[in-house]
Structure 1
Amino acid sequence: MTGLVLWDVDHALIDTRGVGRELSASAFLQTTGQRMRQQARIDGITEPVIFRETAKLHGLTTDRADFERFARALTAAHLEGAAELRERGHALPGAAAALNELADAGVRQTVVSGNIRAVAQLKLQVFGLDTPILWELGAYGEDHDVRAELVRLSMERAHTTADAAVLIGDTPADIEGAHANGVRAIAVATGRSDEAVLRDAGAEVVLPDLRDTELLVKLVHNGI
C-alpha cells in the first residue's frame, strides 16, 4: 500500500493560464534589469535552471545569489498577483477531490516541484488545494537543480522507501525523476505531454486527468 504521494504542481494540480509566465517576467526584470523577451523550456524543469537558462538567452551569466534574488522577487510577484492568479487560473478538474479523498484514506501527501516552496504553497493556497499537503516533507526548486534529487530528498524527509511512494505528474521529467529513485509514477495528460508521450516515457499508469477519483485512490492504495 502506498504511504506517500508526491505531487507535481503545474499542469498536474493547477493551470495558471499564463499568469505564471507573466509573474516570472516581472521577477526577471526586477532581478536583471532586462525585460524577459523569451523564456527557456519550463516543462519538468526546476526554477533555478529555468532562471539560469533564460538569463543565458538574454546574454547574461548568473550565479546562486542572482537566483536567490530572483526567488524573492518571484515570491513577492505571486503575493501581489494572487487575485489575478485566482481569477485567470484554475484548479484542474478532480484535483480537490483527489487530494481530499487521499487525505481521508490516511495517505500522506506532499509536493515535489521545480517551483520554489513559497510559490508552490501560494499557488495551491489560491485554489484551496493546500490543506492536505505536508509541506515539510516535500522538495522544491531551491533545494536542487535536478528533479530526481528532489524526489530523493522528499523520501528522505518523509522517512519512507521507494516501494511505499508514488509520484503523480504530467511530464516525462516527472516520470524520469521518479524512476531514478525506484518510485512508481502515475502520469496525467493534463499538460503539454499527451498520453502516448507519457506512456513512452515509462509511466506505470497514464490517466487523461484526475476526474476519476475512485480509480486514482484505488491505484494509490494498491501501489499501482
Structure 2
Amino acid sequence: MRRIVLWDIDHTLIDTRGVGRELSAAAFERVTGRRMERQAKIDGITEPVIFRETAGLHGIDSSRSDFERFAEALAEAHVQRAAELRERGHALPGAAAALSALAAVDGIVQTVVSGNVRAVAEIKLAVFGLDRHIRWELGAYGEDADERPDLVRIALERAGLEAEQAVLFDDTPAGVEAGVASGVRVIAVATGRSSEGELRAAGAGAALPDLTNTRRLVELVAGV
C-alpha cells in the first residue's frame, strides 16, 4: 500500500535556536511599522493565525493582505539570513537519517504539513540539508489554511490518498490533535516543549523521545 509521511518542521526536524523569532520580529516591524514587543502562542499554530493574534496584541487590526506582505517579508528575511540560521540553528538528532531511511522504503513518499508558509518551510529544510526527500507539491502550508486539521486534509487531497495511508510526525499537542481529527495515524516526537506522556494524552498512537532510533521509526511508519 502506498503511504505518505507528513512532517512538521519546527522542533520535529529542526531547531532555529531563536533565529526564527528574530526573523518574525523583523518581518512584523517591516509590515506594520511597529516593533514586535510580544508574540502570540506559536506551538502548533499556523503562521496567519500567529500574525493576526500578534498584531492584535499590539492593537493592530490586520487584514489578509497584511499577512501576505508579512509572509513575503518573512521569506526574504530567511533568505538574507540563511547563513546565520545554519550557524545558530541545527537539524535535530536523527532527522536526516529518518528522512533517508523512509525514502528507501518502497511505496513511501514524504512531504511537509506545517504552519510555516511554503517559502519559509523550503528554506528551513534546505539550510540543514533535509529537503532532498520532500515532495513539496504534496504538502500543505500556512498560506493554505488557518487551522492545522485543514492542512492535513489538504495534503491528503494533493497526494490523492486516504487518511489511513498517512502518518503524521509532530511535536505539539495541537499538531497531534490535528492529525487525530483528520483520521491519520500520529507518531509524536518529544523534541519540543511537550513530554511523551502529554503527546500520548493528546491522542498520538506512538511517542518517541527523538528521531534517533531509525529502525523503530521505520517500523512504526510501516505499522510493524
- Relative to the length of structure 2, the TM-score reads 0.98
The match for 1:174 is 175
Partner deviation per Cα, 1:188-222 (whole Å, 9 max, x = no partner): 00001111110111100000000000000011112
Paired amino acid for 1:208: P
Aligned 1:1-224 pairs, distance under 5 A: 3-106=3-106, 107-222=108-223
Q: Is the 8 A contact 1:2 1:220 kept in 2?
A: no
Q: Is the 8 A contact 1:162 1:183 kept in 2?
A: yes
Aligned residue for 1:108, secondary structure, equals strand
Q: List structure 1 runs of 4+ shifted beyond 2 angstroms.
A: none
Partner deviation per Cα, 1:71-92 (whole Å, 9 max, x = no partner): 0000000000100000000000
- The offset of 1:179, in angstroms, is 1.1
Paired amino acid for 1:9: I
Distance 1:81 1:4 in 2: 32
- The offset of 1:144, in angstroms, is 0.3
Distance 2:216 2:126 in 1: 25
Paired amino acid for 2:194: S
- Relative to the length of structure 1, the TM-score reads 0.98
Aligned residue for 2:168, secondary structure, equals strand
Aligned residue for 2:188, secondary structure, equals strand
Paired amino acid for 1:40: A
Structure 2 gap segments, 5+ residues each: none
RMSD between aligned residues: 0.8
- The offset of 1:2, in angstroms, is 6.2
Paired amino acid for 2:48: P
Distance 1:162 1:199 in 2: 19
Paired amino acid for 1:161: E
Partner deviation per Cα, 1:2-46 (whole Å, 9 max, x = no partner): 610000000000000000000000000000000000100000000
State how many pairs are aligned. Answer: 223
Aligned residue for 1:206, secondary structure, equals strand
Distance 1:144 1:3 in 2: 23
Distance 1:206 1:84 in 2: 32
Structure 1 gap segments, 5+ residues each: none
- The offset of 1:181, in angstroms, is 1.2
Paired amino acid for 1:51: F
